[in-house]
Amino acid sequence: MDPASRPTILERLSALLTHEPDEREQFLDLLHAAHQRELFDADALSIIEGALQVAEIPVREVMVPRAQMDVIRLEQPIEAIIDFAVQTSHSRFPVVGENRDDVLGILLAKDLLPLLRKPDQALTALLRPAIFVPETKRLNELLREFRISRNHMAIVVDEYGGVSGLVTIEDVLEQIVGDIEDEHDFDEDADNILVVPGGRWRVKALTEVDDFNEAFGCELEHQGFDTVGGLVQHHFGRMPARGEMIEIEGFRFKVMRADRRRVYTLLVERLPAPDGVGG
């Protein structure tokens, strides 16, 4: 065949898009070939692959598990609720009644501002309706629901109607484009370790363990890996999910941001010294 008559990469991609999705693997091969020919960069390739994957991922794989949900209880005093919102730095919270299965609605952190002037106002008047989705719902379907309803959080329920976790629009988008930083995340390379309320620190997973040791005056062992994220993953023995916690040599590490490929941000707390130690 005359080389000039062979279809180009883009022509082959266009042809494949007209077929049924049973040729997806071939489509991905062509995407990688196009990337190797520098028709688009690695970030674009990652986004396309992520967009394809969300059609296969169920909500239960990316949700924050029930035990790790930060919830507000209806009977809590307003002062305690405001302190909790500041401490966790979330923009939305499920509000529950008797237990975590009794979700009454969603409270936006910004809706707490009127309470500073009217502390006697009922919390229930500030709640937004909660939406509930099954664990098996695919992320592409959930993203479509978020767009239509303009909600950013959904409560995940199991087959018996019990709450099994929560999921946000950010959780879905991060499966496509990777970690999304917000106003509470780090802006500069120098901000690898930031103090947060409650005597804790937000630490980038890419922080060098040597830098962590210097900042905290400790000597965490890290033979075989260089970063705090590598240290945490080593102790888990697997890729941890968001919300999981582990204790390592006097520190508690909670995974704040992670996807299926890497850990991004950790919440670190120094544990009290055992009785008779350090005192």
Q: Which of 177, 208, 233 is the last residue of a domain?
A: 177
- The whole-number pLDDT of residue 275 equals 60
pLDDT given for residue 134 in this prediction: 95
Structural domain of residue 125, as residue ranges?
60-177
* Per-residue confidence (pLDDT) for residue 2, from 0 to 100: 54
**Would residue 1 count as lying in a domain?**
no
pTM over 0.85: no
CA distance linking residue 59 with residue 171, whole number of Å: 10
Q: What is the pLDDT of residue 279?
A: 45
Domains in the chain: how many in total? 3
182 inside domain: no
Question: Do 84 and 125 fall within a single domain?
Answer: yes
C-alpha torsion 133→256→270→164, nearest 10: 10
172/69 same-domain check: yes
What is the CB-side half-sphere exposure of residue 99 using CA atoms within 13 A? 6
Q: Among 177, 202, 233, where does a domain finish?
A: 177
Q: Do the Cβ atoms of 9 and 30 come closer than 8 Å?
A: yes
What DSSP assignment string belongs to 248-270? ETTEEEEEEEE-SS-EEEEEEEE
The reply to whether 51 and 65 lie within a common domain is: no
91's tokens: 């923009």
Q: What separation in angstroms does the CA of 181 have from each of 142, 171, 174, 197?
A: 21, 12, 10, 19
d(Cα 96, Cα 75) in Å, to the nearest integer? 9
Chain Cα centroid distance, residue 12: 36
Whether residue 77 lies inside any domain: the answer is yes
CATH number of the CATH domain containing 162: 3.10.580.10
Task: Give the pLDDT of residue 5.
Answer: 54
Series of mean pLDDT values for 10-residue runs along the chain (279 residues) = 55 52 64 70 67 78 86 89 84 92 92 79 88 92 89 92 91 71 48 79 90 92 85 89 87 83 86 64
244 assigned to some structural domain: yes
pLDDT at 208 (0 to 100):
92
